[in-house]
């Protein structure tokens, strides 16, 4: 096939422009990226060879070779891994295949300074070679194929691809170094970079200099080394490699289990939140190894979904090497590892929450909502997970645990009060909170939708019932208001009852009930759900996600201490039901709906009624 010219996917071109012009100071990371890719390619082939040993017959020693040529300003990185076919080269080196790079592009602002910072945050994989090269040539032969292909590009919008020869399988990347890249043809510089970033790579990284070969790294799986031999820096670099991440790990868990089951784990809790944590396709990404051989990064049975923020590896001594991905599905060894690893992770999180509550806030903000899924998904560990759950609350800006909440409960308070919604500021202003605030009763502000699922399912914590302040009657009588000044007289109950009768008549089917409120102090009205109905926010949430069609009727609560209600009580006493009172009834209801953040079923009617009531007020 003749040489073919192709254009990069538009996103890649944009990316390359930034990469090429970037003043990103740590250009050396390109070498880490290329070594990392080479090592992944070897891992892939090693896995394939488990079932097809012929693939590596005669060439079973995987390695990455680096050969600089100072005089020609060249740097060559080769591997004897799985290689790429023509289509794979076009797909992998011309489009954005990988999620990290895709995230990078989606975050680009056009402001060069900011965008360059992102290179360090996401890493740009193979494309980082263009930071140091004026031209990049990739020659690759896919294992098992006869023909090799050459991919060449100067990183300016196009690449060419044609057929070529390569004696053995694998990939050779030749960088024609640019001015900024010249230093990377210097052997000492290469040694330094490999030591810094790639020491943990489990296969030899070999420097070829004057025909002599020198292995630059320890070339043993990092997780098999003893903890005392591993520096924090090495853990971090391994995390970057294994997770394709560029932040610092928040927590590193390195263990060897030696009992009925034998395995090593090197797991990380990332320091930042990945953008796809809540996407349904987001899965466990911890890699499974068997006796140092990479098996899969898609072993969903390895960890429960609520620990899907973890990155790293698990290396089992017990599973058979030729374990297929299908076999993993109901594997008792894997199931037992999962149980043990889950417990271990929860124990470590509990420890961290206790020893470093400050740092635990970062964790909660990043992953707390995911962890909470475990409260209903993993009954067995529920009592471990519950104390790790954190919440916003009316008590202050700090996140709080349930235990802390319970410790602060008022004498006479029997329930754990909650209110749910997306927006923290809007929640804090909810009228339903007024009566609680006046009595100094703390209310948890639930902004993680997951809370609305496990709380009703669980019902209680430490024998204290979870109770939404927007549902059922507010039994606040047992606790006296803190603010004794609130001696605002209430209209006599019988007069309020007459107004309520008039309002009910006017609103008919639009509400389930109208009643006098205990939870309001400042606002005139609010809506609440009936005791047996679904919480209002949950219902809105389910309707938004088309999980629910029904629309429960609400209870309108009125505040008999509010001057507007007092005025209406007087009006109802004078004239009974009237057009004007009917207008007021609807305005009160719509006002309560607006306070809930709902859209009005009929904004036109609302505007008309409001205008006519205001006009009457002006002419009076």
CB nearer to ligand ADP: pick between 82 and 527: 82
Pairing of strands 262-270, 249-258: antiparallel
Q: Are 43 and 17 in contact (CB under 8 A)?
A: no
CB of 138 to ligand ADP, least distance (A): 8
Q: Which helix (H) or strand (E) holds 15?
A: helix 10-21
Structure tokens at 460: 């209680």
Cβ nearer to ligand ADP, comparing 83 with 560: 83
- Going by the DSSP 8-state scheme, the letter that residue 535 receives in this structure is P
Nearer to ligand ADP by C-beta: 92 or 366? Answer: 92
| Whether the Cβ atoms of residue 163 and residue 149 lie closer than 8 Å to each other | yes
Nearer to ligand ADP, 125 or 312 (CB): 125
State the minimum distance, in angstroms, from the CB of residue 166 to ligand ADP: 12
To the nearest whole angstrom, how small is the minimum distance from the Cβ of residue 83 to ligand ADP? 6
In contact, 241 and 201? CB cutoff 8 Å: yes
- Cβ-based nearer residue to ligand ADP, 144 or 305: 144
Report yes or no: 507 and 590 within 8 Å, Cβ to Cβ: no
Q: Nearest-CA neighbor of 299 among 346, 251, 333?
A: 333
Q: Which residues lie across from 208 on neighbouring strands?
A: 213
Contacts of 533 (CB under 8 A, 6+ apart): 471, 512, 539, 552
Q: Which is nearer to ligand ADP, 171 or 366 (CB)?
A: 171
> Least distance (Å) from ligand ADP to the CB of residue 355?
35
What are the residues whose beta carbons fall under 8 Å from the beta carbon of 1, sequence distance 6 or more?
Answer: 86, 162, 163
Closest contact distance (angstroms) between CB of 41 and ligand ADP is 3
Q: Could you identify the residue written with the tokens 């049975």?
A: 301
CB closer to ligand ADP out of 126 and 306: 126
Choice between 92 and 217, CB closer to ligand ADP: 92
Please tell me what DSSP assigns to residue 277: T
Report which residue's Cβ sits closest to ligand ADP.
125
Smaller CB separation from ligand ADP, 122 or 250: 122
- For ligand ADP, give the closer residue by CB, 84 or 536: 84
- As measured in angstroms, the least distance from the Cβ of 39 to ligand ADP is 9
Minimal distance, residue 226 CB to ligand ADP, in Å: 30
Interatomic CA distance for residues 150 and 175, integer angstroms: 13
CB of 182 to ligand ADP, least distance (A): 23
How far apart are alpha carbons 616 and 488 in whole angstroms? 27
| 72 vs 336: CA distance, rounded Å | 56
Closer residue to ligand ADP, CB minimum distance, 98 or 189? 98
Cβ 46 to ligand ADP, closest distance in Å? 13
**Dist. CA 405–CA 205, nearest whole Å:** 54
Contact 436, 443 (CB under 8 A): yes
Whole-number minimum distance, CB 377 to ligand ADP, in Å? 30
Between residues 287 and 437, which has the closer beta carbon with respect to ligand ADP? 287
- Alpha-carbon span 366 to 162, nearest angstrom: 46
Footprint of ligand ADP (CB under 6 A) = 33, 37-38, 41, 79, 81-84, 92, 97-98, 100-101, 125-127, 171, 244
Closest CA to 5 of 109, 155, 161, 201: 161
To 10 degrees, the CA torsion angle through 307, 313, 317, 323?
80
Q: How far is the CB of 77 from ligand ADP (least distance, A)?
A: 8
Nearest to ligand ADP of 295, 499 (CB atom): 295
State both tokens at 601: 């079923």
Q: What is the dihedral of CA 163, 165, 171, 176, to 10 degrees?
A: -80
CB of 186 to ligand ADP, least distance (A): 23
Cα dihedral 40, 45, 50, 55, rounded to 10, equals -170
* Contacts with 497 (C-beta within 8 Å, 6 or more apart), sequence order: none
Smallest separation (angstroms) from ligand ADP to the CB of 235? 20
- The minimum distance between CB 42 and ligand ADP, in angstroms, equals 8
C-beta of 161 vs 386, nearer to ligand ADP: 161
Backbone φ and ψ for 303, nearest 5 degrees, come out as -145, 150
Task: Characterise 616 by phi-psi region: left (phi > 0), alpha (psi -120 to 50), beta (else).
Answer: alpha
Helices and strands (H and E) in the chain: how many: 19, 23
DSSP 411-472: TT--EEEEEE-S-HHHHHT-GGGHHHHHTT--EEEE-STTHHHHHHHH-EETTEEEEETTBS
CB of 172 to ligand ADP, least distance (A): 9
Residue 141 or 540: the one with the smaller Cβ distance to ligand ADP is 141
Three-state DSSP state, 312: strand
d(CA 485, CA 218): 74
């Amino acid at each position: 096939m003749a040489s073919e010219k192709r254009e990069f996917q538009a996103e890649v071109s944009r990316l390359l422009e930034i990469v090429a012009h970037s003043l990103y100071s740590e250009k050396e990371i390109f070498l880490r990226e290329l070594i990392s890719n080479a090592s992944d390619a070897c891992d892939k082939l090693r896995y394939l060879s488990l079932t097809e040993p012929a693939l590596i017959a005669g060439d079973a020693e995987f390695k990455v070779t680096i050969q600089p040529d100072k005089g020609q300003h060249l740097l060559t990185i080769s591997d004897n891994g799985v290689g790429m076919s023509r289509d794979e080269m076009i797909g992998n080196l011309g489009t954005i295949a990988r999620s990290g790079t895709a995230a990078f592009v989606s975050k680009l602002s056009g402001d060069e300074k900011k965008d360059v910072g992102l290179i360090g945050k996401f890493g740009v994989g193979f494309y980082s070679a263009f930071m140091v090269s004026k031209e990049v040539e990739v020659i690759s032969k896919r294992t098992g194929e006869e023909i090799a292909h050459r991919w060449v590009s100067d990183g300016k919008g196009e690449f060419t691809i044609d057929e070529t020869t390569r004696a053995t399988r694998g990939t050779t990347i030749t960088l024609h170094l640019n001015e900024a890249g010249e230093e990377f043809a210097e052997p000492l510089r290469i040694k330094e970079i490999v030591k810094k970033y790639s020491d943990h790579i489990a296969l030899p990284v070999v420097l070829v200099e004057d025909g002599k070969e020198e292995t630059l790294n320890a070339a043993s799986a990092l997780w098999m080394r003893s903890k005392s031999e591993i520096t924090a820096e090495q853990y971090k670099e391994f995390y970057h490699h294994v997770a394709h991440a560029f932040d610092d790990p928040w927590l590193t868990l390195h263990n060897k289990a030696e009992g009925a089951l034998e395995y090593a784990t090197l797991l990380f809790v990332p320091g930042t939140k990945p953008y796809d944590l809540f996407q349904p396709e987001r899965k466990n990404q911890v890699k499974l190894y068997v006796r140092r051989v990479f098996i899969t990064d898609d072993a969903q049975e390895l960890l429960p979904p609520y620990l899907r923020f973890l990155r790293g590896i698990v290396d089992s001594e017990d599973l058979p090497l030729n374990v297929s991905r299908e076999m993993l599905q109901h594997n008792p060894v894997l199931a037992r590892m999962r149980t043990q690893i889950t417990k271990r992770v929860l124990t470590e999180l509990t420890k961290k929450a206790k020893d470093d509550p400050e740092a635990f806030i970062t964790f909660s903000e990043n992953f707390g909502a995911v962890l909470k899924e475990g409260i209903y998904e993993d009954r067995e560990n529920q009592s471990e997970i519950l104390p790790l759950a954190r919440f916003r609350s009316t008590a202050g800006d700090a996140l709080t645990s349930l235990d802390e909440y319970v410790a602060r409960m008022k004498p006479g308070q029997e329930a754990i009060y909650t209110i749910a919604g997306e927006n923290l500021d809007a929640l804090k202003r909810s009228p339903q909170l007024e009566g609680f605030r006046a009595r100094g009763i703390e209310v948890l502000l639930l902004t993680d939708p997951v809370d609305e699922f496990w709380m009703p399912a669980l019902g209680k914590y430490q024998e204290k019932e979870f109770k939404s302040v927007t549902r059922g009657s507010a039994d606040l009588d047992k606790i006296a208001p803190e603010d004794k000044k609130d001696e605002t007289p209430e209209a006599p109950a019988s007069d309020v009852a007459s107004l309520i009768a008039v309002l009910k008549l006017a609103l008919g089917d639009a509400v389930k009930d109208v009643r006098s409120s205990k939870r309001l102090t400042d606002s005139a009205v609010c809506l609440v759900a009936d005791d047996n109905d679904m919480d209002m926010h949950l219902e809105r949430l389910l309707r938004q996600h088309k999980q629910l069609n029904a629309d429960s009727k609400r209870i309108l609560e009125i505040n008999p201490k509010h001057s507007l209600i007092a005025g209406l009580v007087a009006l109802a006493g004078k004239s009974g039901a009237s057009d004007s009172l009917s207008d007021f009834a609807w305005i009160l209801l719509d006002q309560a709906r607006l306070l809930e953040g709902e859209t009005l079923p009929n904004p036109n009617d609302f505007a008309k009624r409001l205008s006519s009531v205001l006009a009457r007020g002006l002419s009076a």
